[in-house]
Amino acid sequence: MSFIEANLRLLDGFATTVILFFSSLIIAIPLGALVCRLRLSKIKAIENIMRFFIWAIRGTPLMLQIIVIFYVPGILFNVRIESRMAAAIIAFAINYAVYFGEIYRAGYTSVSRGQRDAATSLGLSGKETFFKILLPPTVKKIIPPMTNETISLVKDTALARVISVGEIIYEAQKIVSTHAIIWVLLYTGVFYLLFNGLVSLISGKIEKRLSYYGE
């Protein structure tokens, strides 16, 4: 395999990894808000169901969840997920929505009662209280843990290879095993370092923009 051919294969894997990451993140962020809302539900049955769901997702390996989502619907219900990419995205989105939801919950409940009471005394509506008083400090508090989870998502996209999704590690592994070309592994390491460096840079800028909100 020539140098150019190897790079083209890696570029295909890179593109797949980027699609996996952004698709999963775009779904997981709002889905996490729903998880948070249901977890904080005043209806005990809903809260208990969400507690169990969160426990199950956090307590089992992500790799197992990918396998279950891809194979189980076809085996049990004869509803096969044709796209391996879609199955991986669904698994990543559900898994990270649970972690994001718990981060949202921790950030939201950490806002002091005094701030809520102050908003009420000023005559602010519920919507104004949420967006002007509660949301900004909550966002500031959740940025560091959200950054950590987002970096983990970048790396976890490699688990999609368990159902033969051709992300960058999958392609590199095939090249190494077939052609004994080792340098492709260095390329994949550099890719993850640069990608996660970009994520950290963006989150740092967001955190700086919110620095005027006190603890």
34 domain residue, yes or no: yes
Q: What is the mean pLDDT of residues 74-79?
A: 85
Range from 47-51, 127-131, 184-188 that averages highest in pLDDT:
47-51
Residue 190 has pLDDT above 70, yes or no: yes
The pairs formed by 170-178 with CB atoms below 8 angstroms and a separation of 24 or more are 170/13, 171/9, 171/10, 171/12, 171/13, 172/10, 172/13, 174/9, 175/1, 175/6, 175/9, 175/10, 178/1
Which pLDDT score, from 0 to 100, does residue 109 have?
A: 84
Q: What is the mean pLDDT of residues 6-22?
A: 92
Share above pLDDT 70 across residues of the chain, in percent, rounded to a whole number: 93
Q: Residues 172, 25: contact at Cβ < 8 Å?
A: no
Q: What is the pLDDT of residues 146-164, one digit of tens each?
A: 999 999 999 999 999 999 9
Q: What is the mean pLDDT of residues 121-138?
A: 72
Q: What is the mean pLDDT of residues 86-97?
A: 96
Q: What is the mean pLDDT of residues 125-146?
A: 78
User: Domain range for residue 123?
Assistant: 3-209
Which pLDDT score, from 0 to 100, does residue 213 have?
A: 55
Could you give the 3-state DSSP secondary structure of residue 106?
helix
Per the prediction, the chain carries an average pLDDT of 88
Neighbours of 157 (CB within 10 A): 25
Residue 183 has pLDDT above 60, yes or no: yes
87 domain residue, yes or no: yes
Task: Tell me the one-letter amino acid at 39.
Answer: R
Report the range of poorest mean pLDDT among 48-57, 124-133, 156-165, 175-184. 124-133
Which residues are CB-neighbours of 90 under 8 A, at least 6 positions away? 69, 81
Inter-CA distances, 25 with 49, 55, 71, 95, 196, Å? 24, 21, 23, 11, 14
- The CATH number of whichever domain residue 147 belongs to comes to 1.10.3720.10
Which pLDDT score, from 0 to 100, does residue 76 have?
A: 86
Domain count, the chain: 1
Which residues are CB-neighbours of 118 under 8 A, at least 6 positions away? 133
> Against a cut of 0.85, is the pTM above it?
yes
214 domain residue, yes or no: no
Length in residues, the chain: 215
Which residue has 């989105």 as its token pair? 93
Which pLDDT score, from 0 to 100, does residue 87 have?
A: 95
DSSP characters for 53-83?
HHHHHHHS-HHHHHHHHHHHHHHHHS-----
194 domain residue, yes or no: yes
